[in-house]
Structure 1
């Protein structure tokens, strides 16, 4: 496995690229989260807790103990398919969170510069149906929200869909479903998948694994090729501080105790293995390998190396 950056078109920032056997993974940045996000999202990750986890600085926390978090997607080329894992916040949408309200980012330009123009994407994997993971499902066109990826199969777990279909949702979440989920369903592009306990293969070298707790039907995404493996976390791990302190839960976890058990099981399975972990909200360097550290874990960032080809 390796990581580097690739030349980008015009002034569009370069996208980091990792290789996993014959697969390539590109991080498509949307926006950094404001400093207030960490204390809200992970209230147990106080400056004292961060100070007891010195390896978090400077990449994942600043000197005052404020966590760094970001919104991005992972663009995967696997078995001749272009696959996008999660779609961020989206542009121009009415959101209760001021930092996400009517966002205006260059995400689509970054995606296209990385070789993943929206019309070329084959599969969109939605690890779960939260606002900051489904936003670019759709874009504005003629006063309506239409699928951004018109030729893609949008995949989420049936358990996830069924949960929200039967839940009492506040207006902000109903708005998100109206503008970012229902247009995909109405276009016939939403594909609900039954995810088995041992995982379900979605494409050659791409498997969905259940990761309940943050939401009931959340999945992680396992990539494997030529004896190499990687895993995209979804929100089973929001931030590397939860590797040093697996008991720390998010304020938006539907089932916090289950989320903590899922996280510890995942980390234990990856610890001291060669599997590359991709954090769905980890700032740069974003990816690394899990190592045991006492009764907990730490992230060792992956080393730079050769670049995989940009899809033609």
Structure 2
């Protein structure tokens, strides 16, 4: 298990699954093998010898101000999904989460960066009667009001409707879903935890900024899927709802934290998962953070 210390905030990466090699060409079609081959710093951690992208699904578990907080909840077990890599999973994610000190009944908050299947799956699990129930029985689940409003009114395929029905609507029915009006400059929802609007991939997507004792980090959500998008922020996901906005959002975030000691934590980055953004010509590169078994913060420059 990887762990980073951001001042007084502890961040744990809780792994769910490694995505298959075919995910990269589908998700980021402009990140061709030829493009990746020309970005030597992606290897060996973020791209393979065949220049294929490495991607993962994990969540971040935070200890902050005496609270236990999850950022996103992965794909989940036993969910019917159109993507074969996500369909009817049976992983030991909950056991790993519990081993990190986050038993389901102890989680206080769940932050949902956006409402896609690989970020909301463990919101729920089946109860004794076979119905979907909140996995974290006393947690408040937070997402942007703009995100919820979009999906509540959007026309969508049956598979996406099924995902909302099994992983989001049970929270609403149980009174555990809180909708946040996220200001342009960000909205602090817990001490040292601020939601930052990063629209484009979805209309209400958010990133999560952490600040404690002069130490800083940003959890990307799907504002950045893979470090290749630092080398070329114009590379977009095939499922971005507004690609032009996604490029603006991604570039603005990278400009903001480039050449600072803010740690970037990628929601789909494979290990080492975290790094520092550095300017590289007209774009950026990711310098992996020190060994996550040690503390990382403002005093730990790469």
Name the CA distance, whole Å, in 2 between partners of 1:81 and 1:112. Answer: 15
TM-score by length of 1: 0.93
Alignment of 1:1-312 (within 5 A): 15-141=1-127, 142-304=129-291, 306=294
- Residues 208-255 of structure 1 show CA distances to partners (whole Å, capped at 9, x for unaligned) of 000000000000000000000000000000000000011000000000
Count residues with an aligned counterpart.
294
SS in 1 for 2:143: strand
- Residues 131-174 of structure 1 show CA distances to partners (whole Å, capped at 9, x for unaligned) of 00000000011211000001100000000000000100100000
Task: Give how far 1:307 is off.
Answer: 6.0
Name the CA distance, whole Å, in 1 between partners of 2:295 and 2:8. Answer: 11
Name the CA distance, whole Å, in 2 between partners of 1:41 and 1:302. Answer: 25
- Residues 268-307 of structure 1 show CA distances to partners (whole Å, capped at 9, x for unaligned) of 1010000000000000000010000000101111112536
- Residues 156-202 of structure 1 show CA distances to partners (whole Å, capped at 9, x for unaligned) of 00000000001001000000011100011101000000000000011
SS in 1 for 2:223: coil
Task: Give how far 1:52 is off.
Answer: 1.0
Root-mean-square deviation (CA), in Å?
0.9
| Runs of 5+ consecutive residues of structure 1 not aligned to the other structure | 1-14
Task: Give how far 1:256 is off.
Answer: 0.2
Partner of 1:6: none
SS in 2 for 1:43: coil
Name the CA distance, whole Å, in 1 between partners of 2:184 and 2:71. Answer: 20
Name the CA distance, whole Å, in 2 between partners of 1:122 and 1:221. Answer: 16
Name the CA distance, whole Å, in 1 between partners of 2:264 and 2:88. Answer: 31
Name the CA distance, whole Å, in 2 between partners of 1:138 and 1:56. Answer: 35
| Runs of 5+ consecutive residues of structure 2 not aligned to the other structure | 297-302
TM-score by length of 2: 0.96
